[in-house]
Amino acid sequence: MSKLYAITGLFDKPEDIIQAAKAAVKTGYTKYDVNTPYPVHGMDDAMKLPPSKLGYVALVIGLMGAAFALFAMWYINTIDYPQVIGGKPFFPLPALIPITFEVTVLSASVLTVLIMLFVFFKLPNNSHPLHDTEYMKRVSSDMYGIYIMADDPEFDEFKVRGFLEDIDAKEISAIYYDDEELNTRHRVFEPKFIIFLIAAGILNSALVYFVYNKLLYMPPFDFMEEQAKVIPQDEDTYFADNFSMRLPVRGTVARGDMPYLYSNNPEGAGADIVNPLLPTKANLAKGEQKYNTFCSPCHGYLGNGESRMRGQFPVPPSLNSQKVISWSDGRIYHVIMAGQNTMPSYSKQTTEDERWTIVQYIRALQRSQNAGETD
Amino acid sequence: MSVDHTQEVSVVEGQPSFRSIDDLISKPLETKPDRNFFIAISITGTMLLIGVICVALTVWFGIGTWGNNQPVGWGFGIVNFVFWVGIGHAGTLISAILFLFRQKWRTGIARFAEGMTIFAVMTAGLFPLLHVGRPWLPIYLIPHPNQHGVWTNFISPLVWDVFAVSTYFTVSLVFWYIGLIPDLATLRDRTVGKIKKMIYSVFSLGWRHSNRHWQHYEMMYLILAGFATPLVLSVHTIVSFDFAVSIMPGWHTTIFPPYFVAGAVFSGFAMVQNVLIFVRRIFNYEHIITLDTLEKMNKIILVTGSMVGYAYIMEFFIAWYSGNPVEQFVFVNRVFGPYSWAYWIMFSCNVIFPQLFWVKKIRRSIPIMFILGVLVNVGMWFERFVIVVTSLTRDYLPSSWDHYAPTLVDLGILLGSFGLFFTLLLLFIRTLPVISISEVKAVIHGAQPHHTGVYHE
Amino acid sequence: MDNVLQYSKKEIPSKINTIGIVLLVLGLLAAVLAFFVDHTRSTYNLLLNFMFIISIGLGSLFLVALEYVGGAVWSTPFRRVSEFLSALLYLVPLIAIPLFFNLHDLFHWSHQEAVESDRLLQQKSPFLNTSFFIIRGLVVFAIWMIFYFFISRNSRNQDDNGKQVFTKRNIKLSAVFMPVFAFTISLAAIDWIMSLEAHWFSTIFGVYYFSGTVLAALASATIIIVLLKENNYLPHGLVSDHYYSLGALLFAFTNFWAYIAFSQYLLIWYANLPEETFWFAQRWEGSWQVISLGIILVHFVIPYAGLLSQPSKMNPRRLIIMSSWILFAHYYDLYWLIMPNFSKEGVIFGWIEIAFVIATIGAIILLFGYKMRKNNLVPIGDPKLKRAMDFRL
């Protein structure tokens, strides 16, 4: 014998179901419910239901959402990764309002709905005794129903049937539990659900493993770790000699470079090349700096060869000798450009202007080392 | 025909029984589709297929397949995005805002309009995804700790868009689904097929139409409507911020937020009206989606179109008033420059033609209102085109000026977006009830207990 | 609902009338004195209260037109309250006269020398010059008065015979009024408020003033409606459901105002163009900082919190408190818009400001009392009235 769940009564006018609800409250039933295909105005008052607290739930969740969004953006923009973007301050409150608003609405709406469904309604529940009954089919479509549950303290089958007849219920019937509905275990522990959780867990782990260990190494998901470009000193099979680094094409001239026409022609250099710079303070200062950098290791600070090298390298002849003094600026320039004997060319370390300033400085040194009474 | 102001205009004509409502609305779900349906879906499917091909080309070869150039970095991609997001707004307005205003005539069209919102937002969302260089990395749009240690730029309106559009989609989906639950339960209780029954049972969550649940349900509906209303206003506002926070002449103007929102409602209602004209005819819903409903929608189209016109005039006037020569040039360029044809299409379709809706006969004439609806959507597409393209082709520095022309891929994707939207709509029509069964029942004459006009307890 | 047809006209208690007279006389005397004490400050105050009265008068006419166009029933029993308030539109040209004679104190662009030395002002001078300003002001006032005259006359005539043709006419008039309203209110806001700082501009300014206007009209109507109903001036049968929409609209437009105000601020702040930001920078000088921050609290946070819950929208006491607060907030808003052009270093608030406010309140009370004596408080001939009394949420 199946267990009795409730006795139901059906009505076909909205006014009747309102009266039925009022009567049920008056008679003292507490474990009862009303089913209608759509919400009927005034039913909440007729059943004396307390007002819904969902509004407060939404308010609290919304405020929490707003606070969370603002805190997160504050933390990210001020502590974790501060960046100056468009000259705006690190915590630009007006610019953060749109996102805060959206997060508030999103969290309040979605979470309140979930709370309503899972907590207030305790749905999903497809094993309720009312499902698949004639009663349910009618109230889903075009009739209004009320039922008194068997575990109401005032329940007595005969009395309830009488009560329903008194209020002119059109159809009165009994609803029994189906066997599988007599489920007292909490739905969360049902085997189907546990298996579902395990399957979801396995699937999720597999996906995560695949993405982080495999996918991230496949182009284009590998974030251009492997690129077709050539890195210096790499092997490169494109060229026959397998070198990735190539010489420039013959005849390539470096920027700012001018060919030097007097490479083996010191006399010509001395005769033709003229110092384009004036001996100004700035030029001499520059010349001093460059001379001290490049020339002083061998020639010494005063041009006389007493250098920091202390003879570990052949001592060059003094720059302050009469011979050098008699040289033209172009002749000195040539030595710097082309080198002489053991001195290498310094054309790569200096620009043209710098070389001329060095020449001017040498002139100054010569004068200082051979100072006459009038200097 | 004359209106009698002492009588309330009934939302549903006649007084159909609840059973007949169930039967009528469930009919497309319980019968096999006819030839017309297959013709329709093959057309939309073909459009969709062309779009898919063009999208594949874009993803494989890159944005070079589009017409974007310097200075027109935003072309069809953004125009289409704003267009589709705008269309989505009508649904939420009908569902949420008309609900808050207690306008009962929304019941016949709310479900359908919400569905259109969701499909429009889905279509719109494709464009920001596609218009970036590497559309397979959208996860980085959501701020989360990652291996690069970088976060999204919360100050950028493009990121606000991400939050806004995804919130809008989620909340619209939730709102739509909550509305569907009682109807899915009704379908569960009347269906005979076992598989269908299982599907309906799962998705209706076991809803029992209990009044203890209806009480919370109604409160939830009110809360969702209360949230959805500012949400829908905020979404298109944030889309307008994409343009208005910049310093581009023609873009940086404070009226953009309400102007965009009004324009969105305008185009959305035109699209809903267009589609409903077909739906009500094909499925015999004419006494539920009544001519009065269509007329009211046309009034809203007139109002929002006038708001858009107001914004055009205000922009023009203030551009002159501001004395800023660059701003003034933008507007002169719009009217007389190389894209003036687009401007005049926009102006006539958005401001001039909708004024015809002042005439009641036109408001109630199905063929004319249909044409006007199409024109409105054409005009609104061109409005976004004018805003985006004409401002970009000629901004501050004449040496940077250039011309913009869409490529075939651009056009293919536009066509495909319509294909996607209408295909989803057609599928929706045959799988879910397009009118809310429970809401319609609630507004039929005699469905609510009779009030006597004295204090309501 | 039969009580409606038994409605008889009641007059405003003479106590209220006396208060109105006292306020108006005291206020006017003080205001006239103020003109001699500080001419410019008084002119600014006159402008401020002028815009406040336009808000209530024009906004109330907008509400009346909105009811006709939207076909709403819940507001029909007390539509006359807004109709009476719209009569303020007749006062508008009167107050404009002293303003027209004192444009020099208010507007930089009315000074010949200023225009000659300023290229921007020269550019705007086809629009911003004294004669065109006065002409278009008068035209706009005339338009408002004409619409008020015809709409209120149709409504009044309907009391005698209940013919629906009056409703139809008013629906047509209201529909035409809407776009006219949109342009004229924007023009008024631009002319009287935005051009105080002639170098600044904002395309949303008309909408901004509109949002505050609707709030002011709703709030003043709500205060009066609730007071009238609780003191049995309105027909028996109105319930809290009728209040609900008033509360909901107040809440909605509070949000709308905040949305418009925030949009304007955010866009100008974000682009950071000096030609626009200086206007807000002016409102950050000295004690104006406090006022600028305060407007968020006063005009948004407090009304929002006060009207958020369902019960609060229907509760008479709450409605009166929040409506009064919102009226104060609208004055605060106009103050924040207008006065920084007068006192750049900080807030100035004293007996002069209070004098003008008192005069304004007195004028409104007296006008309302006068209309109540001459007209029915309820549109007894309106075909929607029966449905309106039966209205339930």
Residues A39, A130, single domain; the answer is yes
| CA distance, residue A123 to nearest chain B CA (Å) | 6
- What is the pLDDT at residue A183? 60
Residue A233 domain-assigned (yes or no)? no
Residue A42 domain-assigned (yes or no)? yes
Tell me if C360 sits within 8 A of C49, measured CB to CB: yes
Residues A2, A124, single domain; the answer is yes
- What is the pLDDT at residue C5? 53
How many Å apart are CA C87 and CA C83, to the nearest integer?
7
Instruction: Tell if the CB–CB gap between A140 and B218 is shorter than 8 Å.
Output: no
Question: Which pLDDT band, with edges at 50, 70 and 90, does B221 fall under?
Answer: very high
- What is the pLDDT at residue B13? 80
Neighbouring chains of C at 3+ CB pairs within 8 Å? A, B
CB pairs under 8 A between A and C: 15
Single out the residue in A152, A186, A220 at which a domain terminates: A186
| CA distance, residue B334 to nearest chain A CA (Å) | 29
Residue-number span of the structural domain to which A304 is assigned: 266-369
Residue in C262, C309, C310 nearest the CB of A97: C262
Question: Which pLDDT band, with edges at 50, 70 and 90, does B379 fall under?
Answer: very high
A302-311, B337-346, B414-423, C257-266: segment of lowest average pLDDT? A302-311
The predicted-structure confidence for A90-106, as pLDDT tens digits, reads as follows 999 999 999 999 999 99
Checking phi first, is residue A265 left (phi over 0); if not, alpha (psi -120 to 50) or beta? beta
Residues 266-285 of C with CB under 8 A from B: 266-268, 270-271, 273, 275
Torsion of CA B425, B427, B428, B431, to 10 degrees: 170
Single out the residue in A163, A186, A209 at which a domain terminates: A186
Residue type, A145: G
Residues of C in contact with B103 (CB under 8 A): none
Contacts of A258 (CB under 8 A, 6+ apart): A352
Class of domain B70-442: mainly alpha
Residues A306, A170, single domain; the answer is no
**How many distinct structural domains can be found in chain A?**
2
- What is the pLDDT at residue A1? 57
- Is 50 exceeded by the pLDDT of residue C93? yes
Rg (CA), chain A: 49
Residue A220 domain-assigned (yes or no)? no
- Is 70 exceeded by the pLDDT of residue B457? no
How many Å apart are CA C326 and CA C258, to the nearest integer?
13
Give me the CATH number covering residue A360.
1.10.760.10
B161 part of contact set with chain C, CB < 8 Å: no
- What is the pLDDT at residue B136? 82
Single out the residue in A157, A186, A215 at which a domain terminates: A186
Residues A294, A177, single domain; the answer is no
Residue type, C129: N
Task: Report the percentage of chain C scoring pLDDT > 90.
Answer: 80
Residues A20, A159, single domain; the answer is yes
- Is 70 exceeded by the pLDDT of residue B53? yes
Residues A307, A174, single domain; the answer is no
A315 part of contact set with chain C, CB < 8 Å: no
What integer best gives the mean pLDDT of chain B?
Answer: 91
Residues of C in contact with B321 (CB under 8 A): 124, 127, 190, 201
The predicted-structure confidence for C202-236, as pLDDT tens digits, reads as follows 999 999 999 999 999 999 999 999 999 988 888 88
Residue C357 domain-assigned (yes or no)? yes
Instruction: Tell if the CB–CB gap between B163 and A18 is shorter than 8 Å.
Output: no
CA end-to-end span of chain C: 17
Tell me if B142 sits within 8 A of B136, measured CB to CB: no
Checking phi first, is residue C11 left (phi over 0); if not, alpha (psi -120 to 50) or beta? beta
Residue A328 domain-assigned (yes or no)? yes
Beta-bridge mates of residue C157:
none
Two tokens at B81?
């995005």
Residue C3 domain-assigned (yes or no)? no
Question: How many Cβ atoms sit within 10 Å of the Cβ of residue C309?
Answer: 16
Instruction: Tell if the CB–CB gap between B254 and C268 is shorter than 8 Å.
Output: yes
| CA distance, residue A24 to nearest chain C CA (Å) | 26
Residues of A in contact with C270 (CB under 8 A): 94-95
- Is 70 exceeded by the pLDDT of residue C6? no
Residue in B230, B314, B451 nearest the CB of C206: B314
- What is the pLDDT at residue C2? 46
Residue C1 domain-assigned (yes or no)? no
- Is 90 exceeded by the pLDDT of residue C248? yes
Residues A159, A275, single domain; the answer is no
Residues of C in contact with A86 (CB under 8 A): 272
How many Å apart are CA C298 and CA A164, to the nearest integer?
57
CB pairs under 8 A between A and B: 198
Instruction: Tell if the CB–CB gap between A92 and B155 is shorter than 8 Å.
Output: yes
- What is the pLDDT at residue C346? 87
Q: Which residue of A has its CA nearest to B59?
A: A220
B6 part of contact set with chain C, CB < 8 Å: yes
How many Å apart are CA C302 and CA C320, to the nearest integer?
14
Q: What is the mean pLDDT of each run of 10 residues along chain A (375 residues)?
A: 84 91 90 93 92 93 96 94 91 95 96 94 86 90 91 86 87 82 63 89 95 82 76 84 87 80 83 85 92 92 86 85 89 90 89 91 88 73
B435 part of contact set with chain A, CB < 8 Å: no
- What is the pLDDT at residue A232? 84
Two tokens at A154?
């005032």
Residue-number span of the structural domain to which C22 is assigned: 8-389
How many Å apart are CA B196 and CA B26, to the nearest integer?
13
Residue A1 domain-assigned (yes or no)? yes
Tell me if A108 sits within 8 A of B227, measured CB to CB: yes
Instruction: Tell if the CB–CB gap between C309 and A94 is shorter than 8 Å.
Output: no
What does the pLDDT average to over C144-165? 93
Residue in A41, A59, A87 nearest the CB of C272: A87
**How many distinct structural domains can be found in chain C?**
1
Which one, of A232, A259, A260, A227, lies nearest residue A244 by Cα? A232
Residue A242 domain-assigned (yes or no)? no
Angle between helices B107-131 and B291-322 (to 10 degrees): 40
Residue C2 domain-assigned (yes or no)? no
How many Å apart are CA B285 and CA A238, to the nearest integer?
71
Two tokens at B59?
């993803």
Residue A115 domain-assigned (yes or no)? yes
- Name the one residue in this structure whose structure tokens are 């020339």: A295
Neighbouring chains of B at 3+ CB pairs within 8 Å? A, C
Task: Report the percentage of chain C scoring pLDDT > 70.
Answer: 98
The predicted-structure confidence for B68-123, as pLDDT tens digits, reads as follows 998 999 999 999 999 999 999 988 888 898 898 888 888 888 999 999 999 999 99
pTM above 0.80? yes
Residues A182, A291, single domain; the answer is no
| CA distance, residue A172 to nearest chain B CA (Å) | 18
Tell me if B40 sits within 8 A of B29, measured CB to CB: no
ipTM for the complex? 0.93
- Is 50 exceeded by the pLDDT of residue C183? yes
Helices (H), B62-104: 76-92, 98-100
Question: How many Cβ atoms sit within 10 Å of the Cβ of residue B229?
Answer: 21
Residue in A55, A59, A95 nearest the CB of C270: A95
How many Å apart are CA C363 and CA C20, to the nearest integer?
7
Residue in C263, C275, C390 nearest the CB of B254: C263
Instruction: Tell if the CB–CB gap between C265 and A55 is shorter than 8 Å.
Output: no
Residues of A in contact with C266 (CB under 8 A): 94-95, 97
B159 part of contact set with chain A, CB < 8 Å: yes
Q: Which residue of C has its CA nearest to B360?
A: C172
Which one, of C296, B151, C298, B154, lies nearest residue A70 by Cα? B154
B221 part of contact set with chain C, CB < 8 Å: no
Residues A102, A12, single domain; the answer is yes
What does the pLDDT average to over C336-355? 93
| CA distance, residue B191 to nearest chain C CA (Å) | 35
Residues of C in contact with B258 (CB under 8 A): 204, 207, 260, 263
C201 part of contact set with chain B, CB < 8 Å: yes
Residue A215 domain-assigned (yes or no)? no
- What is the pLDDT at residue B453? 38
Tell me if B404 sits within 8 A of B72, measured CB to CB: yes
